Structure 1
Amino acid sequence: MTRTMQAAVQYAIDDIRLEERPVPQIGPGEMLMKTLACGLCGGETMAWYKSEPKVLGHEPVGEVVEIGAGVTEFAVGDRVFVNHHVGRINSHLSRRGHFTRDPFYKSMTLDPGGVCEFYRVTAQHLAMDAHKIPESVSTEAAVTIEPWSCVLSGLKVCHIQPGDTVAVVGAGFMGQGFVHLAPLFGAGKVVALDFSDWRLARAREFGATHTINPRTEDAAAALRALNGGRLADTVIVIAPFAEAWAQALALVEVGGCLHLGAPLPPETDWVRDGNAAYFDQITVTSRYSSDHTDTYSYLRLLEAGRIKADQAISHRFDIAQSAEAFRLLVEAETSLKIVVYPHGVPRNQREVA
């Protein structure tokens, strides 16, 4: 094993540097992973969300290159997904099903991150949320396990009933996930809303039955026109802007559900009419990240061929191009999931989707 490796380190939104870092050393019950591929997440563009500097990326898929004493379920050469955060069983929040809100969850991280050549996973990671990747699932499809497990986690609390109309406000990569997975929870009509006609066209490829561009048409009127005069039973808002939240709330039918799929910046007010909040009986839900039950469910759906994960990969980069990859992520124009290959993009993956 080499003693040093390359890592892409984020100092600011516009400052991604390639640095030489030591290869992590593992202890008993731990594993060292060779990073096969790592996706970039839109959450990494939120300057308020995480402190810098940090190794970029938290959606890696790896190959086991070293195992510590006591590890028996995995072997060198296995392709493995390990969630970047993992929970614990014995806490008040965990016992009530809120694994991801227990402070322990965020304290458990991959060492040192995702966009680097190797990373260490702890014994707690292996005990809670590590999975061999089936041969039928490609490495690129496996890159979607962490982010779209968050989608699956959110859909679990959306109260969708069979045949319901579901609207998704924001059709970036995560919005496409909600569009694509909503029918697995019983959705009938699935309506994607976005200012980008390119993203709306992609949403139709992922299963949207209808699309609306609020920049060019009245969203509520268009929704009523395609839905028998009604608004949506469930509205999921991904765009992290107060205006988008207001738009989403205006699209929810009486008795429906508004799901907040991404946070607003801290200290951002969100005001509702108190009278309407009482009489409309709209349930507001949110779900931060994904836990071990979500990743397990998602991987089974992926293996069963229910999810078009490979089609969500729009761009591929070598680790030396990490700054360019992140710039494309920030622009968020004609890209979905951007993947960085720390050991080089495989020859058969060099085409851009």
Structure 2
Amino acid sequence: MKAAVLEEPNNLVLRGTKDPALVPGDLVIRMRSATICGTDIRIFRGRKTMGVRYPSILGHEFAGEIVDTGGRSGFSIGDRIGICPAIPCGHCHRCKRGAENLCSEGMNFGYEIDGGFAELVRIPAKAVDGGNVRRLPDGMTFGEAAMIEPLSCVLNGQEQVNLGFGDVVVIIGAGPIGLLHVLLARLRGAVRIIVSDPNAPRREAALSYGADTTIDPTTEDVAARVRAETDGRGADVVICAIGIPALARQATELAAHSGRISLFAGFSKGDTSQMDINAIHYNQITVTGAFGLSRRNFDDAFNIVASGRLDVAPLITGRFPLEETLRAFEVAESGAAIKVAVEND
């Protein structure tokens, strides 16, 4: 089969590789759409190495159709499916305490298991048995199904800060994740959404997806503008949707008393940041991280999209065939598109 193989950092090549080897109970799918995540780019550039193998096939946001059932009943060749890419072990301390997204003993597509930037992808029996596979309803495209994974992560992040009705929300960063935060925050009942991003087209996109106000941090004092927009109170929830360490400190300047801050975006290995600890202490601000997704998050996000309550399709603004995966990565990294999909027709 053809696959985009990461041989080493900065060396992604399309080449032939062995078809997936099945054991009984596995499925094999033909990848139809695999979207590029910021984490994929960080792995490609060598800024994220934990759990990464060389050579490997990246891609944890993907969907496709079954071409081999592996002798398993209940599935048929041609079934259209989406995949929750995190396969927890189910027996470690974290899994037992309901934090399977933090499981360090499990497997993940694009890491321990070859992922979606390939013609064919093996779905291990453990993932099928664990409920990681969802059949797509007729109205859901493969691209939309691939977007369920990032939406699931966003859902986890908003749950960690208890974002809900009546909240004033500031989202720092209007990339694909920031825009998903806008869409979901609106759905969850945020009363006002303010987005900060230096990129004018992305600020326009944020407004089109439901933001009330946008800020250009290169020309405006973000903290002063947020205070002006909130009668001096600040934001109930601040979400850092871009992995720039200095923005963690900025978040403490934007949060209201008893505000909640989500350091949602991944940062590069070794990154540190100074935060205003007095603001955290005296204003009683909660600061939390948000990593990955659980199978519950995936199911909830899947049902939100399947029901039509949230439309993720417009976020995919760049599409490339598998043969042009490297070009797709370059476009995603440049910010010229919102979300980039690699497709295998």
C-alpha deviation, 1:287, in angstroms: 1.6
Q: Percent identity?
A: 29
Aligned amino acid, residue 54 of structure 1: S
Match of 2:310 in 1: 307
Q: Within 5 A, what are the aligned runs for 1:239-250?
A: 239-250=242-253
Take 1:234 and 1:298, find their aligned partners in 2: how far apart are those partners? 21
Match of 2:40 in 1: 44
Does structure 2 conserve the Cα–Cα contact (< 8 Å) formed by 1:110 and 1:119? no
Match of 2:66 in 1: 64
Instruction: Count matched residues.
Output: 337
Whether 1:207 and 2:210 are equivalent positions in the alignment is yes
TM-score, normalized by length of structure 2?
0.93
Take 1:111 and 1:33, find their aligned partners in 2: how far apart are those partners? 14
Q: Within 5 A, what are the aligned runs for 1:4-153?
A: 5-11=1-7, 14-46=10-42, 47-50=46-49, 51=52, 52-69=54-71, 71-106=72-107, 111-128=113-130, 129-153=132-156
In 2 relative to 1, CA 161–297 (structure 1 residues): closer, same or farther, beyond 3 Å? closer
Take 1:197 and 1:159, find their aligned partners in 2: how far apart are those partners? 30
Superposed CA deviations along residues 286-344 of structure 1, whole A, max 9, x for unmatched, are 12111100110011100111112110001000111111111111212x3111001133x
Stretch moving more, 271-280 or 160-169: 271-280
Q: Which runs of 5+ in 1 are unaligned?
A: 344-353
Take 1:102 and 1:112, find their aligned partners in 2: how far apart are those partners? 19
C-alpha deviation, 1:245, in angstroms: 1.6
Take 1:253 and 1:313, find their aligned partners in 2: how far apart are those partners? 34
| Aligned-partner SS, 1:7 | strand
Match of 1:173 in 2: 176
C-alpha deviation, 1:204, in angstroms: 1.1
Whether 1:270 and 2:269 are equivalent positions in the alignment is no
C-alpha deviation, 1:160, in angstroms: 2.1
TM-score, normalized by length of structure 1?
0.91
Take 1:110 and 1:133, find their aligned partners in 2: how far apart are those partners? 25
Q: Within 5 A, what are the aligned runs for 1:251-262?
A: 251-262=254-265
Take 1:330 and 1:238, find their aligned partners in 2: how far apart are those partners? 15
Take 1:215 and 1:63, find their aligned partners in 2: how far apart are those partners? 45
Does structure 1 conserve the Cα–Cα contact (< 8 Å) formed by 2:164 and 2:185? no
C-alpha deviation, 1:111, in angstroms: 4.5
Superposed CA deviations along residues 44-97 of structure 1, whole A, max 9, x for unmatched, are 22222134432132211110111123x233221111111222113332111212
Match of 1:294 in 2: 297
Stretch moving more, 264-273 or 281-290: 264-273
Match of 1:350 in 2: none
Match of 2:330 in 1: 327
Aligned amino acid, residue 66 of structure 2: V
In 2 relative to 1, CA 107–320 (structure 1 residues): closer, same or farther, beyond 3 Å? closer
Aligned amino acid, residue 323 of structure 1: L
Structure 1's consecutive aligned runs of 4 or more residues displaced over 6 angstroms after TM superposition are none
Take 1:342 and 1:317, find their aligned partners in 2: how far apart are those partners? 9
Does structure 2 conserve the Cα–Cα contact (< 8 Å) formed by 1:314 and 1:337? yes
